[in-house]
Amino acid sequence: MHNGKADEAFYIKDCALVSISTGQKVYSLAELLEHLKDIHAGSIYHHFWSRLLRPSFDHPEFHNDFAAWAYHAIHDQILAERLNLVDPLDFDTLEGLRQEIIEIIEERMDESEYLPWTKAEAPFYFVRSQIVVLDTERSIQHPWELGKGVKTMSPGSIFYHFIDARRRTPDKTDDFQCWLKPLKGYESLVIALSHIDPYFNTLTELKEELVLLFEEYFKTRVKNG
């Protein structure tokens, strides 16, 4: 690739998540901890990320299912707040993320004699998901089309290119960075993309942020000749 023009187009995909139950449920923090140690890594991923594709009317108060359960079912605000601040992007692997949750729960259990055995108001169900990737038959030929292209993307497309990409790209980044990196002249755009943390946003907010970034970047580029 050279002269800022891509040799290969950016093919827009869409995706859907189909949930798969592990059949495992827990009724207390102690049980949650035991199951967390060996639950399928896909379940850890699901409980951190799949909420983005779930229907919601409000901005989520809790950013992962473990924090939500600690608050709503165990009624422990301290644990809920600690779990809520875990950003999965701080960890290179799901095993690292698993270990972090385990440590936070263990630490909290050490602080309270009864908490580990408090019966939850509702069980926690371990679920994982299967991602179904679909073609949209649309593509972006040139980086300056990115703003317009992202505007047309569904939440599933945003999820696939900005979140799922981190599981399958060599640098564990998003597809936009992957596409732009080999091109000359987009280094600052790649850096700006790398600063977007998708975890604490909704997909709609993420899409707006991306559109704004691409539009502003190319507006400035045109102005500066």
Partner 1 sequence: MVDQLQQLAKPLKGAHIVHINSTRYGGGVAEILHSLVPLKKALGLNVTWEVISGEEPFFHVTKSMHNALQGFPIAISQEKLKIYEETNAKEAERLQPLLEEADFVFIHDPQPAPLLHLTPNRKGKWIWRCHIDLSRPFRPVWRYLRNLVVEYDASIFSMPDFSQPLPHLQYIIPPSIDPLTEKNRELPPKDIEEVLNRFGLDPPLPIILQVSRFDRFQDPLGVIRAARLAKKFVPFQLVLAGGGAADDPEGEAVLKEVQAAAAGDPHIHILYLPPDAHKTINALQRAADVVIQKSLKEGFGLTVTEALWKGKPVIGGAVGGIKIQVVDHHTGFLVHTPEGAALRIRYLLFYKDKREEMGRKAHLFAKENFLITRHLRDYLSLLLALKLEAHERLALET
User: Do residues 217 and 189 make contact, with C-beta atoms less than 8 angstroms apart?
Assistant: yes
Interface positions with partner 1 (CB under 8 A): 14, 16, 18-25, 42, 55, 57, 123, 125, 127, 130-137
- Report the nearest approach of partner 1 to the CB of residue 95 (Å): 16
Query: Which residue number, 28 or 129, has a Cβ lying nearer to partner 1?
Result: 129
- Report the nearest approach of partner 1 to the CB of residue 19 (Å): 4
- Report the nearest approach of partner 1 to the CB of residue 82 (Å): 25
Query: Which residue number, 61 or 135, has a Cβ lying nearer to partner 1?
Result: 135
Question: Closest Cα partner for 115 from 105, 126, 123?
Answer: 105
- Reported for 203-210, long-range contacts at CB under 8 A and 24+ positions apart, including other chains, are 203/52, 203/53, 203/155, 203/158, 203/159, 204/155, 206/158, 206/162, 207/150, 207/151, 207/153, 207/155, 207/158, 210/150, 210/158, 210/162, 210/176
Query: Which residue number, 21 or 77, has a Cβ lying nearer to partner 1?
Result: 21
Query: Which residue number, 78 or 132, has a Cβ lying nearer to partner 1?
Result: 132
- Report the nearest approach of partner 1 to the CB of residue 2 (Å): 28
